């Protein structure tokens, strides 16, 4: 049976002191459960302090650069994250793709570098409203996955988590119905089976993201192919974060 993975995505919210207070307060209320991976992807500057207070939840990163070191002003390397015991790194979020113009080639380099370092990329994919309305969701998502996983072998891919996040559902309150999310995620699983074989496809964890809240997470996670959620807004408030894990 696949585990569940629920990761908050704080984006560029909170300050370090707010964040420490939050994690101190919720961490002891999160029961350690071997079937659930619970975490929060936080701004890089908070990782060091939060890793010291988090025992039951994983402190994840929202981004990284693929080179080990060098003249890359403003970037964070994978060895820097690794030293702070980061295990999961969100890669290719639609905000990084749209606002910061990250392309599939860069995302592919990050995925490969993370796997090589033994960290787990949470690789995001998902379509715009325009693509969704034109019925081309699956073509778009397959292209993203094939480009972003280029040169990733069947052995290496075992360490990847996929997050399907339709852009039209992010931060809009417009959640994809559980049926829409299930259909696309089943399509992703089938596509990964064609790339890497059925055994991997049966095991890979695939999250849904886009306006997930405590009120709707149950029916989303009840879908057979959805293994968890990547949650923005609803992960910023303590009760609501804890509500996602119940
Ligand atoms: P949202 O964000 O839950 O606020 O829609 C999801 C995400 O961007 O990962």
Q: What is the pLDDT of residue 32?
A: 81
Ramachandran bin of 160, using left for φ above 0, alpha for ψ from -120 to 50, beta for the remaining angles: beta
Question: Beta strands 36-42 and 4-9: pairing type?
Answer: parallel
High-pLDDT (> 90) share of the chain, % = 95
Of 88, 129, 212, 216, the one to substitute when testing ligand 1's pocket (max ligand atoms within 8 A of C-beta) is 212
Query: Which two tokens mark 98?
Result: 């749209």
Q: Is the pLDDT of residue 13 over 90?
A: yes
Q: What is the pLDDT at residue 175?
A: 81
Beta-strand runs (E) in the chain? 4-9, 36-42, 58-61, 88-91, 120-125, 161-164, 206-209, 228-231
Q: Which residues contact 161 (CB under 8 A, 6 or more apart)?
A: 5, 88, 120, 121, 122, 123, 204, 205, 206, 207
* pLDDT, position 174: 82
Residue 171 confidence (pLDDT): 86
Q: Does position 1 have pLDDT exceeding 90, yes or no?
A: no
The catalytic position among 93, 95, 102, 127 is 93
Whether 165 is catalytic: yes
Contact 110, 68 (CB under 8 A): no
Domain positions in the chain are 4-245
Tokens linked to 152? 């990733």
- Tell how far the Cα of 136 is from the centroid of ligand 1, in angstroms: 22
Q: What is the pLDDT of residues 143-157, one digit of tens each?
A: 999 999 999 999 999
Residue 165 Cβ inside 6 Å of ligand 1? The answer reads yes
Q: What is the percent of the chain with per-residue pLDDT over 70, rounded to a whole number? A: 100
Helix (H, G, I), strand (E, B) or coil at 161: strand
Determine the distance separating the centroid of ligand 1 and the alpha carbon of 70, expressed in angstroms.
Answer: 32
The CB of 212 under 6 Å from ligand 1? The reply is yes
| Helix residue ranges, H only, 70-209 | 78-83, 94-98, 104-117, 129-133, 137-148, 178-196, 198-203
Task: Encode pLDDT of 53-112 as tens digits.
Answer: 999 999 999 999 999 999 999 999 999 999 999 999 999 999 999 999 999 999 999 999
> Is 220 exposed, middle or buried (CB count within 10 Å of its CB: 0-12, 13-18, 19+)?
buried
Among 21, 87, 165, 179, the active-site one is 165
Ligand 1 and 233: CB distance under 6 A = yes
pLDDT band per the 50, 70, 90 thresholds, residue 31: confident
Residue 177 has a pLDDT of: 94
Residue 93 annotated among the catalytic residues of the structure: yes
Is the pTM above the cut of 0.95?
Answer: yes
The pLDDT-based confidence of 198 (bands split at 50, 70, 90) is: very high
Distance 190 CA to ligand 1 centre (A): 25
DSSP states of 165-183 as a string?
A: --GGGSSSS-PPPHHHHHH
- In DSSP terms, which residues pair with 124 in a beta bridge? 163
Q: Compute, in degrees rounded to 10, the torsion defined by CA atoms 3, 4, 9, 10.
A: -100
Query: Closest residue (by CA) to atom 2 of ligand 1?
Result: 232
Q: Nearest residue CA, atom 6 of ligand 1?
A: 232
Count the alpha carbons within 13 Å of 87 in the hemisphere toward its beta carbon: 12
Answer yes or no: is the C-beta of 7 below 6 A from any ligand 1 atom: no
pLDDT-based confidence at residue 224 (cuts at 50, 70, 90): very high
How many CB atoms within 10 Å of residue 98? Answer: 11
- Fold assignment, 4-245: TIM Barrel (3.20.20)
Verify whether ligand 1 is closer than 6 Å to residue 125 (CB atom): no
Chain mean pLDDT for the chain: 97
211 lines ligand 1 (CB under 6 A): yes
- Mapped onto helix, strand or coil, the DSSP state of residue 204 is coil
pLDDT for 173 equals: 82
């Amino acid at each position: 049976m696949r585990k569940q993975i629920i990761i908050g995505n704080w984006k560029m919210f909170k300050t370090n002191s707010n964040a420490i207070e939050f994690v101190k307060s919720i961490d002891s209320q999160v029961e350690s459960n071997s079937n659930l991976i619970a975490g929060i992807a936080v701004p890089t500057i908070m990782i060091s302090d939060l890793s010291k207070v988090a025992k039951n939840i994983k402190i994840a990163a929202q981004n990284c650069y693929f080179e080990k070191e060098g003249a890359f002003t403003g970037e964070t390397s994978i060895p820097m994250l690794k030293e702070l015991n980061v295990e999961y790194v969100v890669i290719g979020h639609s905000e990084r793709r749209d606002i910061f113009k990250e392309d599939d080639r860069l995302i592919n380099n990050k995925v490969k570098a993370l796997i090589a370092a033994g960290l787990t990329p949470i690789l995001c994919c998902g379509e715009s409203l325009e693509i969704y309305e034109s019925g081309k969701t699956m073509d778009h998502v397959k292209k993203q996955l094939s480009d972003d996983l280029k040169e990733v072998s069947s052995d290496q891919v075992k360490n990847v988590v996929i997050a399907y996040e339709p852009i039209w559902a992010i931060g809009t309150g417009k959640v994809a119905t559980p049926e829409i999310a299930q259909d696309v995620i089943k399509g992703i699983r089938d596509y990964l089976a064609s790339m890497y074989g059925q055994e991997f496809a049966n095991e890979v964890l695939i999250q849904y993201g886009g306006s997930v809240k405590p009120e709707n997470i149950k029916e989303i996670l009840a879908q057979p192919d959805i293994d968890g959620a990547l949650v923005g807004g609803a992960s910023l408030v303590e009760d609501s974060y804890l509500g996602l894990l119940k």
